[in-house]
Amino acid sequence: MKVTALAPQHQFVHGLASFSKIHPRSNLCRPNATAFHVRMSLREDAPSLAVVGVTGAVGQEFLSVLSDRSFPYSSIKMLASKRSAGKRLTFEDKEYIIEELSADSFSGVDIALFSAGGSISKKFGPIAVNCGSIVVDNSSAFRMDEDVPLVIPEVNPEAMSHIKLGCGKGALIANPNCSTIICLMATTPLHQRAKVLRMVVSTYQAASGAGAAAMEELEQQTREVLEGKQPTCEIFKQQYAFNLFSHNAPVLSNGYNEEEMKLVKETRKIWNNMNVKVTATCIRVPVMRAHAESVNLQFEEPLDEDTARKILKNAPGVVVIDDRASNRFPTPLAVSNKDEVAVGRIRQDVSLDGNYGLDLFVCGDQIRKGAALNAIQIAEMLL
- Identify any residues that bridge with 257 across adjacent strands, giving them in sequence order: 251
CB nearer to a second copy: pick between 134 and 270: 270
| Dihedral in degrees, nearest 10, Cα atoms 160, 270, 113, 53 | 160
- Residues with a catalytic annotation lie at 178, 291
Segment near a second copy (CB under 8 A); pick from 55-63, 144-152, 170-178, 343-351: 343-351
Q: For the sheet with 245-246, list strands across it.
A: 245-246, 277-284, 196-205, 290-299, 357-365, 341-348, 318-320
- Shortest distance, position 48 Cβ to a second copy, whole Å: 38
- Identify any residues that bridge with 292 across adjacent strands, giving them in sequence order: 204, 363
> Among 48, 74, 331, 355, which residue sits at the site for a second copy (rule: CB under 8 A)?
331
**Coil, helix or strand for 302?**
coil
Helix, strand, coil fractions of the chain, as percent rounded to 5: 30, 25, 45
Does 25 bind a second copy (CB under 8 A)? Our answer is no
Does 9 bind a second copy (CB under 8 A)? Our answer is yes
**Coil, helix or strand for 65?**
helix
Rounded Cα gap, residues 133 and 52, in angstroms: 13
**How big is the site for a second copy, counted in residues (CB under 8 A)?**
70
Segment near a second copy (CB under 8 A); pick from 93-101, 111-119, 172-180, 355-363: 355-363
Quick note: the x/- pattern for a second copy over 258-297, rule CB under 8 A, is: ------x------------xxx-x-x-xxxx---x-x-x-
Angle at 53 between CA 335 and CA 251, to 5 degrees: 70
Segment near a second copy (CB under 8 A); pick from 123-131, 143-151, 169-177, 320-328: 320-328
> Which residues, 6+ apart, have CB-to-CB distance to 167 below 8 Å?
none
Contact residues toward a second copy (CB under 8 A) are: 9-12, 14, 27-28, 198-200, 202, 204, 218-219, 222-223, 225-226, 228, 230-231, 233, 237-239, 242-246, 248, 250-251, 254-257, 264, 277-279, 281, 283, 285-288, 292, 294, 296, 305, 324-325, 327, 329, 331-333, 344-352, 357, 359, 361
